[in-house]
Chains A and B, each alone.
Chain A
Amino acid sequence: MQKHVLFENINDPKLHNIDRAIELGAYKAWEKVLKSIKREELVQMVKDSGLRGRGGAGFPTGLKWSFVPVASPKPKYLCCNADESEPGTCKDRVLMECDPHSVIEGVMIAAFAIDCHTSFFYVRGEYDLSMRRIEKAIDEAYKKGYLGKNILGTGYDLEMILHRGGGAYICGEETALLSSLEGEKGLSRIKPPFPAVSGLYACPTVVNNVETLANLPRIVINGGQWYASMGTEKSKGTRIFSVSGHVKKPGNYELELGTPLRTLIYDYAGGILDDKKLKCVIPGGSSVPVLMPDQLDTPLDFESVQAAGSMLGSGAVIVMNEDTCMVWVAEILAHFYMHESCGKCTPCRQGTGWLYEIIHRIEHGQGRAQDLDTLLDLAKNIEGNTICALGDAAATPVISTIKQFRNEYEYHIEHKKCLVKSDFRLR
């Protein structure tokens, strides 16, 4: 069901101004944390809430924090991952543009939870308005004394540094983000050591997603139990779904986790454009397997989507109607991953390009019968063998589209054209 936790005041046009935000309750949670909550209590509260990372992997946030060795003599760092680049995803953008104070308040709370005194905010290069809104919000927070030295007289210091990325998809991967923050090329790093032990400048570091952090003020105000009361047994709370593709009302919808996919597409997004037949849905950003029309009743929570053979990922729901050529879709996605591969490890660097070249050949009528087996085998050789998840992300759409739409590929190879009547308006 639609439930507005993050989107409570999202339609207020002045929400990005600190005065209006404070009127609507911003920074109350931060004050409460600083004045009346102990660090351990805060971590426990978030653990109780069942909040899981909203960036894609769905790792429990409280648990992630608890990996940080707080006793370490090294400084601890918190990085807000606002490098939202997964195709189809635009949920963080709306939060940063409309409600930046909630986001940076979340950063402050998370920083407190890991005893961090310097936090970083890594914004995607292309997100110009987000960047400016966050910049302004941080400035205002400093002026009001919510950031800086001796915050609200409690003796707690916290700096927040805004960093604008160069527009690389890979920098949304946490280790690549840290490399980029350090001033190096955005290349992912091998794990272990995990960032919680040795991250930014080889110090303990937590990287959290914007949406995850934006939930924190609400959890602090209303308590962990309140948050845990929403959602399903293992997937608590709400989630912003960015619906795009062939729907009548594309956009960001905040729903309780566990809401069926059908409700999202047909009730909130208004159904399929031109009332055509649905072909398939990518439920969690371009790097996850497709769901077929017969899976529309899948509840949108981490476990159910996984059981259906896909992943909830970043919550970007890409809807495709019957006129979509899946080879073409695969080609676009393969091109994207080839372009964004950082080139550090072999399977991804060489594999993504090779996948694209073969699919490109098939799409342009040069396919050969054995290409499909080669494609599947190459994708499997990439999957799981790379440093970061980009390799998996590149392999999945290929494997998934061949699995579900092998006939379209075969038709392409045989007849050198698309099986379906393509939607030329979009092409």
Chain B
Amino acid sequence: MGDFNITVNGKTVPAVKGQTVLQAALAAGIDIPVFCWHPQLVPVGACRICLVEIEKFPKLQVACATPAADGMVVMTESPKVVKARQGVLEFILAHHPLDCPTCDKGGECDLQDVTFKYGLDYSRLQEPKHRNIVDENSTFDDLQIGPEIIRNQNRCIHCYRCTRIVDEACFEDDLGAYQRGYHTEILPPPHREIRNLYSGNVVEYCPVGALTNDDWRYKVRVWLTKQAKSVCTHCPDGCNLTHWTFHNKIFRATSRPNENIDRGFICDIGRYGYQQVASSDRLKQPMIKKNGELIEATWEEALNLIKTQVSELKSKLSGNAFFGLIGETSTNEEIYSFQRFLRRVIGTSHIDSRINRKRRLTFGEEVTSRAIAPDHVSYQDIDKADTFVVYASDLHSENPITALRIKRGVRYRDAKIIIINSRSTHLGVRTGATNLLHKPGTGLAVLTGIVDAAVSSTTFDKSAVGLSDQQISEFKQAHTELLLPKAAAMSGVGESDLRAVADSLVRSSNVVIFCGADFSRYPYRDEELLALDNLRRICKSAKLAVLPESSNSVGAELLGAYPNQYPGGKGSDAKSKFEDLWRGPLPDFSGKDMIGILEAINEDEIECGFIFNADPVRVFPDGNYADAVLEKLKLLVVVDSFMTETARLADVILPLSTFAETEGTRTNWEGRIQYTQSAIKPMFDSKPGCEILELLADRLGVSFGQGRPSEVYGELNKSLGDVLPVRYEMFKSEGAIYDRPKHQPKPGFNRVAYNAIPSDREYPNFLTVGNADHHRGPNTERNPSLLKFTGDPFVGLSEIDAKELMISDGDLVKVESRTGKVVGNARVIAELPGKVVFLPENFRELRPNLLMGLKEKFDHVKVTKM
């Protein structure tokens, strides 16, 4: 129980040291009204609605900020408290407009609720109500303060939750309280807008209707809606959402606070990312290609066509002439069903989900022989760490809530952030992060340089980290080209900076190393993993987390979406087990991965394929190649929710319901499996993935009898050894963590091989891809709210290059590589280093994968003004 007890209204209540009176009372189910207090923010005691009487205190105290102490006697309903509370409410309401009938907050307004419960039913105000007039000619006092956010200052009760969320929790600076006294106004800084990635939270946590967003305004009354518990699918953070629906339409998404994950704050991508469900781009019914044109068909026609064609091909060819690709945003159930369908029904092992990588992810000899692997890291580890290393990741846009968790460490534990990247990222802004900005492709030199600086330092305590003199001298001999003066010169990072970082890493007691999306794209992935492991070894305690790319990448790996791997990561020795489970023969482990599949199609070894919820033409790094190769197939079945580039090549398209229309489970980057409800019924003529896969299997002669996700889940759980909750209803907020095998790395440093990047005279610039503001990956462009933040697709150029090429913002430029070219408007980005071209991967109009050659190790490009 608690550390000590306090008495609230005569009831003994346990309290923990450091808890406030409010927290102890709320935990015991005693209601104390609050406006300004929020569990994730430092209490300010501004609204005064939580005043309580505490014995031995001469005045009433705010429960939100008064620390509970042993034996404290608190009264929350004494006459003095009731009088003060009514007084405060009267003050708040004095100038609050009575526009509840047209206010979007009506029905879920804290002020309404508290007034209903504790307030008076009259006002003594005789004076006219104050009004903050935005436009003399308008009766409304709404002011658009950001692309999505609208402010009505009249309704504001000055709780400062919004400004504190922006400042304290998000480390942003685009909202503040201006003026003084009752003139205090919530505004962005002059000539700016509130447009940070977390801006939607200020609307969600506004206790009144002062801040609203375009997304939800004037559309539906909140009490008419139903709520569905959902999990966000836009990144692997796994934030919990509530989808608010009415008449089978989603009207908004809000956070569903989960202490283990998001702690109540979500990013705008998750908040507005539901809009694509109702996108006009949705595939409404099955389509069949006739005479080179896709025409609408019925499910019956489409399924029959697949049946005849697949049967015909199967009679001629072996299972190895088929392949399947699945997108990593699918649910665990869909992934499981899909690989089962391919293995058992089609009889092929050519399955992959890693469609956007041109380098094979099979690890090299050094990595495997030394048993190097990432650690199992969780959000709780972030809360314990005092130093974070963020390597090759734009964490802010790739994993926004992980970034927020890190920032919390900076705010409350003085944790340090060290960013190692070849382009500057937003995480470094205002967080006091050390930014090691290196030349493209020289991350290895930075990492090895830091290790060298640490082991060369006279104060380095090698015994504390279990290193011997011999291991250190071996390290130095093995990396003569990457030691300090050379590492600094090669990477362009100052030697003193490397030494300072080494020093702070050695002194840290708990380090978490993150590497992100850019890491898996780098050509030296193996070597970088080895170098990161070396970095881990100079720290007293360090964990290495490799952040996956998509919301269910971990689930894809876990559930057999890779060519030669059964669910649960089981190898070929589990074949008979799965043959029993799936009641039929399975193919041998001779599956090809994404690159192998494309090669095989090119060489006419593979002739038919199933692509489920994936768009390889759009994301495979050599879009032209993927396009040309997939075109050669005799039969391509695409199951997707949207008309994608790949779907255009299909012979049959089956419309897939989106994440909001199907229940299921997803695995976030920690390996935490969470259940998500379906918010609405399948729209149009689409069907959920599990149902489609069951229909296909049934048509092709093998019925599993598992058309519903819950049925698939039962078998999935069985295949993993029944370690997950038995039924969906038994999932709790902490979800379920599937324990993956732990690796025991060998002692000593790894040998990191390094080859310098060849310079390319003809194509002098280096292409980097990433996310545009408010976008993540290729799946967010169908959300109108998110597009408001971004503007048009652009080609990011550094100031130096722009000057050299005499290009200014908005100029039309052509970006060429040996394999392709794209044309777009230039945008000069101040933070970009010279010779680097940045392309957002979020827009189909400007696809960076057209510039990437499958054979090219580096993406060299050339920019010309048009």
What residues of chain A have their CB less than 8 Å away from a CB belonging to chain B? 168, 185, 189-190, 192, 338-347, 349-354, 357-358, 361, 368, 371, 374, 377-378, 380-382, 384-387
Contacts and interface: CB of A to CB of B under 8 A. Distances in A.
B631 to A, nearest CB: 62
Interface of B: 43-49, 51, 59-60, 62, 65-67, 83-84, 87-88, 90-92, 94-95, 124-127, 130, 157-158, 160, 177, 179-184
B46 A345 contact: yes
Given A192-B67, A361-B126, A387-B45, A350 B92 contact: yes
Say whether chain B's binding surface is mostly helix, strand, loop, or mixed: loop
B659 to A, nearest CB: 42
8 contacts: A190-B44, A341-B181, A342-B180, A347-B87, A349-B91, A349-B184, A381-B87, A387-B45
Given A190-B62, A346-B88, A361-B127, A185 B45 contact: no
B184 A354 contact: no
A347 to B, nearest CB: 6
Nearest to A338: B181
Nearest to B178: A185
Contacts of A350: 91-92, 94-95, 182
Given A385-B60, A387-B45, A349 B158 contact: yes
Nearest to B62: A190
Given A343-B177, A344-B160, A354-B127, 16 more contacts: A192-B66, A340-B181, A341-B180, A343-B158, A343-B184, A344-B158, A346-B46, A347-B48, A347-B87, A361-B126, A368-B126, A374-B124, A377-B87, A380-B87, A381-B84, A385-B59
Task: From A185, A190, A368, name the one whose CB has the most chain B CB atoms within 10 angstroms.
Answer: A190
Nearest to A368: B126
B343 to A, nearest CB: 60
A387 B160 CA distance: 15
A344 B44 contact: yes
A345 B181 contact: no
Contacts of B94: 350, 354
A382 B91 CA distance: 9
A387 B46 contact: yes
Contact of A343 (B83, B127, B181): B181
Contact of B59 (A339, A340, A377, A384): A384
Task: From A340, A349, A378, A382, name the one whose CB has the most chain B CB atoms within 10 angstroms.
Answer: A349
A345 B48 contact: yes
A343 B94 CA distance: 15
A347 B60 contact: no
Task: From B43, B45, B66, name the one whose CB has the most chain A CB atoms within 10 angstroms.
Answer: B45
Contacts, number: 99
Task: From B47, B48, B59, name the one whose CB has the most chain A CB atoms within 10 angstroms.
Answer: B48
A225 B863 CA distance: 84
Say whether chain A's binding surface is mostly helix, strand, loop, or mixed: helix
A357 B127 contact: yes
Nearest to B64: A190
A352 B92 CA distance: 13
Given A185-B177, A341-B181, A381-B87, A346 B60 contact: no
Contact of B88 (A341, A361, A385): A385
B145 to A, nearest CB: 19
A380 B124 CA distance: 15
Contacts of A351: 91
B185 to A, nearest CB: 10
Contacts of B127: 354, 357-358, 361
A347 B126 contact: no
Contacts of A339: 181
Task: From B62, B84, B160, name the one whose CB has the most chain A CB atoms within 10 angstroms.
Answer: B84
Given A190-B62, A343-B158, A347-B91, A353 B182 contact: yes
A353 B181 CA distance: 9
A381 B80 CA distance: 10
A247 to B, nearest CB: 33
A72 to B, nearest CB: 16
A384 to B, nearest CB: 5
A50 B95 CA distance: 47
A358 B48 CA distance: 23
A343 B125 CA distance: 19
Contacts of A190: 43-45, 62, 65
Nearest to A192: B67
Contacts of A345: 45-48
A423 to B, nearest CB: 29
A76 B476 CA distance: 45
B86 to A, nearest CB: 8
Nearest 8 A/B pairs, CB to CB: A381-B87, A350-B91, A190-B45, A343-B184, A343-B181, A341-B181, A384-B59, A357-B127
B45 to A, nearest CB: 4
Contacts of B177: 185, 343
A386 B184 contact: no
A245 B92 CA distance: 37
Task: From B45, B65, B91, name the one whose CB has the most chain A CB atoms within 10 angstroms.
Answer: B91
Contacts of A185: 177, 180
A385 B65 CA distance: 14
A74 B59 CA distance: 31
A215 to B, nearest CB: 28
Contact of B60 (A340, A343, A384): A384
Contacts of B87: 347, 377-378, 380-382, 385
Nearest to B125: A354
B35 to A, nearest CB: 8
A17 B126 CA distance: 57
A346 B181 contact: no
A188 to B, nearest CB: 10
A306 to B, nearest CB: 14
A342 B91 contact: no
A282 to B, nearest CB: 23
Contacts of A341: 180-182
Contacts of A368: 126
B92 A346 contact: yes
A346 B91 contact: yes
B67 A343 contact: no
A340 B181 CA distance: 7
Contacts of B49: 346
Contacts of B83: 381
A170 B138 CA distance: 35
A346 B44 contact: no
A361 B65 CA distance: 37
A343 B183 contact: yes
A343 B180 contact: yes
A381 B65 CA distance: 20
A341 B92 CA distance: 15
Nearest to A384: B59
Nearest to A387: B45
B88 A381 contact: yes
Contacts of B88: 346-347, 381, 385
B533 to A, nearest CB: 35
A99 to B, nearest CB: 34
Nearest to B93: A350
B437 to A, nearest CB: 28
B46 A344 contact: yes
Contacts of B51: 385
Nearest to B96: A350
Nearest to A190: B45
Contact of B158 (A346, A357, A358): A346
A386 B124 contact: no
Given A349-B181, A349-B182, A354-B125, A386 B48 contact: yes
Task: From A353, A378, A385, name the one whose CB has the most chain B CB atoms within 10 angstroms.
Answer: A385
Nearest to A370: B124
B20 to A, nearest CB: 11
A143 to B, nearest CB: 36
Contacts of A340: 181
Contacts of B158: 343-344, 346, 349
A187 to B, nearest CB: 9
B91 A354 contact: yes
Contacts of A374: 124
